[in-house]
Structure 1
Amino acid sequence: MSNMTTPENGMTPDYSPQPLYPHNRVKRHLTELFRLAVPVVIARIGMLIMSVVDTIVVGNYDSAGLAYLNVAHAPFISLLVTGVGLLTGIMIMTSHAVGRRNYLAAGHVWRACLPYAALLGIGLGTISWHMDWLFVLTEQPADIALHAAALGRILALGLPAALIYTACSFFMEGLQRPLPGMVMMLLANVVNLFLDYSLVNGAFGMPELGASGAAWTSTIIRWLMALSMLAYVLMLKNHALYGLRDGFSGWWRNSREARSVGYASGASQGMETMAFAAMQLFAGRLGVVAAASYGITMTILGLMFMFALGLASATSVRVGIAFGRRDRADMALAGWIGLITTMLVMFGLSLPVYFFPGWIANLFSKDAVVIAGTSGLLVLMPIIFPTDGGQNAAINALRGTGEKWAPTMLHMFSYIFVMIPAGYYLAFVQGLGVTGLFWGIAIASLVAVSGLAIRFKIVSARELPAYP
């Protein structure tokens, strides 16, 4: 039976009966967790570096152009993040199939979901194309609204490509093969640096496009990455084992389960993005210094969160494989190791920020008042880093078990009904200012990680359902 065949070299399976001794099982999970997480972390950080390069290149060319690009990116990134969340089911369902050694079923997930990713990208791209109304509604100045809308249309052309790449990348991560995505992202950063500088400034014989050059660079690179990753998947040495070239007939019906998982994840990410957007607006109401300090601190938090994101993705795959194998004890162990490891790593990353806040703040601003404000916020990171990273690991562990809406509801409660009211109350009613906003984030993250961990304990104690 071809779907029970051992994969060829190039894949590192871990589906055999588990070691007898507990310390061996812990060591195995830790080894696999970091083997999967490190390439994902590098790839996610690579995405941030591309944005940083855009900011530096355009900012040095034209400050107005940078303002246009930042405004254009706001709705685009929200739509992209939502789309990525909607595709999370690909990674989960692939890991389940791999866990039960049904490799044809794993390939079937990818074949069913690739057209869905393309259709989703076209739909979200169409929404992004028509964002003029949002800029008018939010009362952006006329010149910003005009130029941001034009840049948004360029970025919209790359949304289908971004989600096609995500579908292929999630499939490879579900197979425990995240290295291709990492390599592709590193190469993309090299190309991005060259194209950004060339198209923004008109260097090396390229047209001088200003901020539009950065937008075109992003779109071009997204399509290069999508086509490259698509070709990589189709050209896998063991493609026949997964049936990767067997066509896409019946894809909507066959993608139902993966889409169902993705709906919950997309809703969760969308609500979290909306909640943090509200906190950004609160910071703006507190004044320029508060908004600047908030923005710098969130940039640092976002960068460090990429480490948690990589560990959380690896956790969902490890839990998903054990779930597919119907090994409840190993599933629970994979989840707890992922959660605890993520929180410890994030706490370790918070220590330099805690002990050297002024030095780190000075990297982002030369304004003494902004540096002082940012330094006061960075000392809270030993609380926020581990709890925020931990809630992401916990929700991914739950996704690995096939949980859909319960973690989404816990997420929504924590960030919509706890963080926003707590942040507002502490910042404005108690007069703590921007510090109150970050205490609101800390409280919400603590509530989230606690609730999700309790939910995982309940789910991992249940008897697992038999194969359908």
Structure 2
Amino acid sequence: MRRRRVWPAWARPSDIADLLRLSGPIAVSRAAMMLMGLTDVIVLGQNAPGELPFVLNSWLPIGVSLGLTMGLLMGVSVLTAELSGIGQGADTGRIFRRGIKFSLWFGTLLTVVIFLIAGPMFRLFGFEAHVAAGTASVTRILSIGLIGHMLTHVAGSYLEALRRPLVVTVIMYAGVLINLVIDLAVVAGWWGMPKLGADGVAIATTGTRWFLVILFLVAVWRMSPAFKPSSEGPPGEARRMFSVGYGTAVSNVAEWGGFNSTFIVATLISTAVNTIYGMAIHVIGFCFMAFLGLGTATSVRVAEAYGRKNSDQVREASRLGIVVTVLVGILLGSLVWIFQAPLASILIKSDAEVAGVPIHASLIPIIGFTSFVIVFDGLQNVASMAMRAQNVIWPPTFIHLGSYFLLMLPLTWYLGMERGGGAMGMMQAVLIASMVAGLLQTALLESKAARRLKPARRLKI
């Protein structure tokens, strides 16, 4: 008699379908965020490639601020999913409103600080005068949209945790269209508008973000209990809401700060190296949006199971997220490898030069090399998000700190500058750091996080 194949518990078709149903729209909506940045790079690369370092370097203070606040606001998604998972979705409005209040006051503080320190900061790095001035100008314009970024993050996370990801997707792609129109107007100079270069990119990003705030608040008001009265939360809920994200905030500062600091290193080598390396990083970043979708969906499923105190389901949801991440990473990496030359042509003209250096030919092999980074970059993200959804906060944070600050930054300096490897040497450093982070986060998830709850009771038959 033929034995029936027994699949692992995490591979149940219903669970796979649930993960894909949730992660697909989230990944598509997250891709919209990166697509805006990629659109900026493409339009600027086709019109003023020499100003691309202004935009890339400006994301050191802006990106670190966003990473910090997105981490601190992670509790919006986690607590909303937990309440929804136990049938208390009508009371999630207090979670949303708490996130909005935090975004307004903390975002205002960060905006003022960034606006004031932008000029001195980039002069302190030792940039050439025109690079420091251009970067400071872009940074100040982007800082005006920082609160808008935070508000849209709160609203989007809240709707996704309530399993309304399609709404978020539609709104985000409206933002992609608006961003493209503004880019074409003030970067490419369409419709008789002035070509503002990197400043135009910053104007497009900031204007789009505030446009999205309006759309998101209308959607939340119409489609959720966010603005309806809710019961008072249990003691300590507010503290837990932000403590859930402490580790994520530090991790984001480490990862985003580490990556954005590498643009500083690249600029100190040369503006040409910064341009080549920065464009290749955007390819990784665009692929990373798929893993943000998988990570968010996995964390929602894990948080729901964690709220039900079901250890088996926590473990299965985590493992399914990891397996799908590996498969998606291999697929995306293969596509990048196959289409490395066309991708380079999309990003920059074939005859473009920066500081007298031809860019296109040098960019192609760097893009190809990013295909090896992609799967490990996805692993570290999904595994760390799965752990934080079950209150494992600091171990993944320490891994991020070690990988992206203590390892990647010195390696980019050594391989890129000291060894003369340029953009390829820097990308090799990124691969090493991503491998360490991805493998350690996955091992930690499997060995520790899934055992934090007692196994769920099974009914006797």
TM-score with structure 1 length normalisation? 0.82
Q: Is the 8 A contact 1:115 1:248 kept in 2?
A: no
Deviations along 1:356-386, whole A, 9 cap, x unmatched? 5444444445369755544444454453211
Q: Is the 8 A contact 2:85 2:304 kept in 1?
A: yes
- Alignment of structure 1 residues 327-338 onto 2, 5 Å: 327-338=310-321
1:132 and 2:115 aligned: no
Q: Is the 8 A contact 2:266 2:423 kept in 1?
A: yes
The one of 379, 382, 387 equivalent to 1:398 is 387
- Alignment of structure 1 residues 45-64 onto 2, 5 Å: 45-57=31-43
The one of 236, 248, 251 equivalent to 1:268 is 251
CA pair 45-150 structure 1, distance change in 2 beyond 3 A:
same
1:256 and 2:239 aligned: yes
CA pair 234-253 structure 1, distance change in 2 beyond 3 A:
farther
1:99 matched residue in structure 2: 85
The one of 182, 189, 195 equivalent to 2:182 is 195
Identity among equivalent positions (%) equals: 27
Count the aligned residue pairs: 442
2:303 matched residue in structure 1: 320
Matches of 1:279 and 1:407, distance apart in 2: 22
Matches of 2:343 and 2:190, distance apart in 1: 33
Matches of 1:455 and 1:74, distance apart in 2: 29
Please tell me the residue identity of whatever aligns with 1:404: I
2:428 matched residue in structure 1: 439
Matches of 1:436 and 1:226, distance apart in 2: 40
Q: Is the 8 A contact 2:90 2:230 kept in 1?
A: no
Larger mean CA deviation between 287-296 and 440-449 belongs to 287-296
Shift of residue 189, structure 1, vs aligned partner: 1.9
2:244 aligned counterpart, secondary structure: helix
- Alignment of structure 1 residues 34-433 onto 2, 5 Å: 34-57=20-43, 69=55, 71-130=57-116, 131-146=118-133, 148-199=135-186, 208=194, 210-211=196-197, 212-236=199-223, 239=225, 244-246=227-229, 254-284=237-267, 286-287=269-270, 290-365=273-348, 366=350, 370=359, 373-427=362-416
CA pair 75-338 structure 1, distance change in 2 beyond 3 A:
same
Q: Is the 8 A contact 1:115 1:251 kept in 2?
A: no
Root mean square deviation, CA, Å: 3.4
2:437 matched residue in structure 1: 448
Q: Is the 8 A contact 2:53 2:275 kept in 1?
A: no
Please tell me the residue identity of whatever aligns with 1:26: R
Matches of 1:316 and 1:103, distance apart in 2: 17
Deviations along 1:8-61, whole A, 9 cap, x unmatched? xxxxxxxxxxxx996686212211211122222222222222233334555666
Q: Which runs of 5+ in 1 are unaligned?
A: 1-19
Matches of 2:235 and 2:278, distance apart in 1: 41
Matches of 2:272 and 2:44, distance apart in 1: 23
The one of 24, 30, 38 equivalent to 2:16 is 30
1:402 aligned counterpart, secondary structure: coil
Deviations along 1:238-280, whole A, 9 cap, x unmatched? 62xxx63228999997532121122221111111122223433
CA pair 126-350 structure 1, distance change in 2 beyond 3 A:
same
CA pair 289-128 structure 1, distance change in 2 beyond 3 A:
closer
Please tell me the residue identity of whatever aligns with 1:48: M
Shift of residue 165, structure 1, vs aligned partner: 1.1
Q: Which runs of 5+ in 2 are unaligned?
A: 1-5, 352-356, 457-461
Please tell me the residue identity of whatever aligns with 1:461: R
Please tell me the residue identity of whatever aligns with 2:148: A
Matches of 2:329 and 2:83, distance apart in 1: 31
With a CA cutoff of 8 Å and minimum separation of 6, indicate the structure with the bigger relative contact order. Answer: 2
CA pair 374-55 structure 1, distance change in 2 beyond 3 A:
closer
TM-score with structure 2 length normalisation? 0.83
Please tell me the residue identity of whatever aligns with 1:188: G
The one of 421, 437, 449 equivalent to 1:459 is 449
Q: Is the 8 A contact 1:58 1:210 kept in 2?
A: no
Matches of 2:369 and 2:441, distance apart in 1: 22
1:246 aligned counterpart, secondary structure: coil
Larger mean CA deviation between 379-388 and 301-310 belongs to 379-388
1:339 aligned counterpart, secondary structure: helix
Matches of 2:323 and 2:248, distance apart in 1: 22
CA pair 355-229 structure 1, distance change in 2 beyond 3 A:
closer
Larger mean CA deviation between 331-340 and 81-90 belongs to 81-90
Larger mean CA deviation between 310-319 and 184-193 belongs to 184-193
CA pair 465-115 structure 1, distance change in 2 beyond 3 A:
farther
Q: Is the 8 A contact 1:305 1:389 kept in 2?
A: yes
Matches of 1:269 and 1:290, distance apart in 2: 25
Matches of 2:370 and 2:48, distance apart in 1: 33
Matches of 1:23 and 1:91, distance apart in 2: 26
CA pair 439-248 structure 1, distance change in 2 beyond 3 A:
farther
Matches of 2:327 and 2:258, distance apart in 1: 26
Please tell me the residue identity of whatever aligns with 2:89: Y
